Structure 1
Amino acid sequence: MSIPCDIANPRLAPEGVRRIEWAAREMPVLRLIRERFQREKPLRGIRMTACLHVTTETANLAITLRDGGADLRLCASNPLSTQDDVAAALVEEYGIPVFAICGEDNATYYRHIHQALEHGPQLTMDDGADVVATLHKERRDLLAGVVGGTEETTTGVIRLRAMAAAGALGYPILAVNEADTKHLFDNRYGTGQSTVDGIIRATNILLAGKVFVVAGYGWCGRGVASRARGMGAQVIVTEVDPVKALEAVMDGYRVMPMAEAAKVGDIFVTLTGDINVIDRQHLEAMKDGAILANSGHFDSEINLKALQAMSEGKRQVRPSVDEYRLQDGRKLYLLGEGRLVNLAAAEGHPAAVMDMSFANQALGAEWIAQNAQKLEKKVYEIPHEVDEEIARLKLHAMGVQIDYLTEEQQRYLSSWQEGT
């Protein structure tokens, strides 16, 4: 039977299989879930559309969902993040329809989303909420058949909560991003390592001694700041939230407005989920040779239109590095076209971190399938017991043991009579 797909090259499948299997070695929690899914088939017959980064780690999630009985279609959540050998392997070796090509243009990107929706999904799985947005804006004929979905990212959760607040959200969404075993690890350790990895792969520069500006001190920003400092960079944090700014100060970083940081920074990374965090006035103040990167979900955090308008020439000087020659003679360097630098210029998060994130996605899909009929059309957080179970499985896989409360301790914590 022919599998619906649009991929770059099916002959890349053998390489993709080898890399998917390598990632699986670092994903023991997802493996345990997959084994249970194979036995119980909790997603039997459920049509799913997943819009995720098509990487080796995502492949292991897709296989788990398939083995749980889901009728899954997968498309990319970023035009530059697809690993073409992985897409080929999923189609050719694992029988999963994939619509994703690395470097696809905007029109192809959205055509792929539409193709992934063609089987009329009952569940959606998003990384940035593009599938949800497409359903609500362009495919409302399919909306009534969708009973629930999950969302992977901070950016996507922000969009979905805005929709829910406006009464526009058409079905319940589980915010996988809000799980402690997701944002405390994926966002901090995963983004921290993979963002720095992407910058170094793209530029081969030495971070030690550089002034490294981190825009946003959420969990992703914390991770990048920590890793950059660990490699010897002088880290500056910019923030709009006074509590997060205070935390950055207490963590030992310099904190200042972007207008000031722009004058002294060598490397800039945005991780806010907002628009034009680096704007024209900041670009005008930057030093010759400054490097710009984004690790937020969309390519809107750096004002690319302003950068282009200020430039009299542009050329690619290395893979994933574009040199913009400004009209005043300065040169600024943009990494990965302003898209997610950890995926545009590197391989994304390590598999050991995505093990927990995708365990949340798999169990989240199971939970929402079981509970969708009694849920309202709003954004829900992952149940705490699911979060704890994933942490327990991860510790077990790592050979780490922890204490458990005694009956006496449990009674004490649930009582109010005892005190000083």
Structure 2
Amino acid sequence: MYQDFQAELAWARLHMPRTRQAIAQMPDLTGIKLACNMHLDLKMAPLVEGLLSRGCDIFLTTCNPTTVQDDVVSYLAEKGAQSHAWRDMTNTDWSASFDEALAWGPTHLCEMGADLTTRFHENVSKGRSIPRIVASLEATGSGINRLNGMSPEYPIFNWDDLPVKEGLHNRHMVGLSAWQTFFQTTHLTLHEKVVVVIGYGLVGQGVAASAKAFGAQVQVAERDPARALQAKYDGWPVVDLGDAAPYADVIATATGAYSVVSDKHLNTMKDGVFVLNVGHVAQEIDVSYLKQHAQHSEPMPYVNAYKLNGKTIYLLADGSMFNLTAGYGDSLNAFDVTLAVMAKGIGYIVSEGDHSKKGVHLLPESAWKAALAL
């Protein structure tokens, strides 16, 4: 298994030239203590090992326990990173990882979901001893939403809203990788299937477009009037989820919000429906209701069958981020762009964090644009 991992890692490095270039251009990071809260899959390894090679001290936590690859964490620990993360860790262990990362005394944060920043400010409000954070990066829309209304004690640079992140990863790769994972996991295609996509942000747009390309009959459920109108202008039938739940063959959540699919929706779904989530948070679907009220089996890996009211609901990856829990997520060449921008962002907060104002700021173009060139 370890030998296979080394071969995969070598393949990833080979096909991520922008990331290699961005790391080579980074300053000396000796004295920098970077706490990373992110997906710990194969594609992250070239970045983390590169940062370690530049002298950076790193503490790894995860933004999603279901997407952790334990061989990646073990390899990076051998390289010198500290960590408190493993696949399917309990919520108690996951919560403890945030406290452990902050107790380690990071100077900078690199996040996907703002868990460390949230815990930091909870500690501030309780008068607890806290480290001095110079600056942070945030990579997700759900993380930026959590920061709304917060008054951060340090500058946080948002790179989720950069055109290259929105237009490439959010708009194209999530949807494409989600349906590729669907085919691999279920051995089914989307032909003759009604697919209801919940949420019409950039991720939802990509999920809808990819589903259509793969033969689905696509409908969109969107509460926001402006996005619903955009979906109509893009040619999608816009439906109410409560009306669509009884006839949809596949339901995909792409909102990054909590409790989007409720017990009411689950009770009205048709027999044999597939439900999956590609949003950042695992709580878009009321999985706890299914676990409490339905009989569970797993006919195929990552296909969780729940018998509810005489009907079977197939919840893929148990409601976790499907494309990265059951699949590989973005392609290496696409994620190479994302990772190179991330590396440039880390370089920016290290060099400019001390000179920046507290609060949430968009990562400036001067910090990341060079990452696109080869």
For the aligned pair, the TM-score class normalised by the smaller chain equals: over 0.9
Distance 1:111 1:16, change over 3 A: farther
CA distance in 2 between counterparts of 1:76 and 1:259 reads: 34
CA distance in 1 between counterparts of 2:249 and 2:291 reads: 20
Q: Which amino acid aligns with 1:159?
A: R
Q: Which amino acid aligns with 1:102?
A: R
Distance 1:387 1:243, change over 3 A: farther
RMSD over equivalenced CA pairs, Å: 1.9
Give, in angstroms, the shift of residue 142 of structure 1.
Answer: 5.6
Aligned partner of 1:83 among 44, 51, 69: 69
- The residue aligned with 2:307 is 325
2:338 aligned with 1:374? no
- The residue aligned with 1:126 is 111
Aligned partner of 1:28 among 6, 17, 21: 17
- The residue aligned with 1:415 is none
Which sits farther off after the overlay, 345-354 or 132-141?
132-141
Q: Answer whether contact 1:49 1:74 (CA < 8 A) is retained.
A: yes
Matches within 5 A, 1:278-357: 278-311=261-294, 313-326=295-308, 328-357=309-338
Q: Which amino acid aligns with 1:208?
A: H
Which string of whole-angstrom CA distances, capped at 9 and with x for unpartnered residues, describes residues 208-257 of structure 1?
A: 12111111111111111111111101111111222222222222221111
CA distance in 1 between counterparts of 2:93 and 2:185 reads: 25
2:276 alignment partner, SS class: strand
TM-score, normalisation: structure 1: 0.84
- The residue aligned with 2:221 is 238
Q: Answer whether contact 2:102 2:131 (CA < 8 A) is retained.
A: no
- The residue aligned with 1:215 is 198
- The residue aligned with 2:230 is 247
CA distance in 2 between counterparts of 1:198 and 1:99 reads: 28
CA distance in 1 between counterparts of 2:6 and 2:82 reads: 15
Q: Which amino acid aligns with 2:165?
A: K
Q: Answer whether contact 2:59 2:83 (CA < 8 A) is retained.
A: yes
- The residue aligned with 2:252 is 269
Q: Identify unmatched segments of 5+ residues in structure 1.
A: 1-11, 397-420
CA distance in 2 between counterparts of 1:356 and 1:177 reads: 13
Which string of whole-angstrom CA distances, capped at 9 and with x for unpartnered residues, describes residues 183-222 of structure 1?
A: 2111122211221123223222221121111111111111
- The residue aligned with 1:60 is 46
Q: Identify unmatched segments of 5+ residues in structure 2.
A: none
Q: Answer whether contact 1:294 1:340 (CA < 8 A) is retained.
A: yes
Which sits farther off after the overlay, 105-114 or 202-211?
105-114
Q: Which amino acid aligns with 2:329?
A: G
Which sits farther off after the overlay, 26-35 or 199-208?
199-208
Which string of whole-angstrom CA distances, capped at 9 and with x for unpartnered residues, describes residues 75-128 of structure 1?
A: 221111011222222122x33223321122212222333333342001011111
Give, in angstroms, the shift of residue 347 of structure 1.
Answer: 1.6
TM-score, normalisation: structure 2: 0.94
Aligned partner of 1:178 among 161, 164, 179: 161
- The residue aligned with 1:200 is 183
Q: Answer whether contact 1:180 1:387 (CA < 8 A) is retained.
A: no
- The residue aligned with 1:17 is 6
- The residue aligned with 2:340 is 359
Q: Answer whether contact 1:143 1:170 (CA < 8 A) is retained.
A: no
Aligned partner of 2:58 among 42, 64, 72: 72
- The residue aligned with 1:104 is 89
- Number of residue equivalences: 372
Q: Which amino acid aligns with 2:277?
A: N
Q: Answer whether contact 1:213 1:269 (CA < 8 A) is retained.
A: yes
Q: Answer whether contact 2:136 2:156 (CA < 8 A) is retained.
A: yes
- The residue aligned with 1:405 is none
Q: Which amino acid aligns with 2:178?
A: T
Percentage identity across aligned positions? 31
CA distance in 2 between counterparts of 1:304 and 1:82 reads: 20
